[in-house]
Amino acid sequence: MLKEKFPELAKEPVLVACSGGLDSVALVHLCKQTGLDFGVAHADFGLRGSESKADAEFVANLARKFNTEYFVKSFNTNYYANLHKLSVQESARNLRYHWFQVLLATTRYRWVLTAHHANDQLETFLMHLNRGAGLGGLCGIPERQGRILRPLLQVTRSELEEFISENGLAYREDSSNATDNYLRNRLRHHAVPPLLETLPGLLPAFLQSLEHLEGAREILLKHLEGIKASLVTQEADCLAFNLEQLASLSPRGPYLFELFAPYGFTDYRAIEDLLEGMSGKEVQSPTHRLLRDRKALLLKSKASEAIKEFQFDLWETGNYPPGLKITLVEAKMTPASIQKDPDPNVLYLDKASLNQRLWLRKWRQGDYFCPIGMRGGKKVSKFFKDLKLSQFQKEAQWILGCGDRIVWLPGLRGDDRFKVTEATRQIIKLEWRHE
**DSSP string covering 276-336, please?**
HS-TT-EEE-SSEEEEE-SSEEEEEEGGGG---EEEEETT-GGGPPTTEEEEEE-S---HH
In one letter, which amino acid is 282? Answer: E
Contacts of 61 (CB under 8 A, 6+ apart): none
Q: Give the span between the Cα atoms of 296 and 416, in whole angstroms.
A: 34
**SS3 state of residue 74:** strand
429 neighbors 329 (Cβ within 8 angstroms): yes
Instruction: Decide which of 3.40.50.620, 3.40.50.300, 3.40.50.720, 2.60.40.1510 is the CATH code for 1-200.
Output: 3.40.50.620
Ligand-binding annotation for 23, yes or no, is: yes
Q: Give the span between the Cα atoms of 104 and 101, in whole angstroms.
A: 5
18 neighbors 112 (Cβ within 8 angstroms): no
Ligand-binding annotation for 21, yes or no, is: yes
Ligand-binding annotation for 22, yes or no, is: yes
How does 88-108 read in b/e, with b if 16+ C-beta sit within 10 Å? beebbebbbbebbeebbeeee
What is the CATH topology of the domain spanning 309-432?
A: Phenylalanyl-tRNA Synthetase; Chain B, domain 3 (3.50.40)
pTM exceeds cut of 0.85: no
Ordered by start, the domain boundaries in the chain are 1-200, 236-301, 309-432
pLDDT value at residue 199? 96
Query: Please, what are the averages of pLDDT over each run of 10 residues along the chain (435 residues)?
Result: 84 96 97 95 93 95 97 95 90 96 96 97 96 90 95 96 97 91 93 95 96 95 93 89 95 94 92 92 92 93 74 76 76 69 84 85 91 88 92 89 91 91 87 75
Ligand-binding annotation for 430, yes or no, is: no
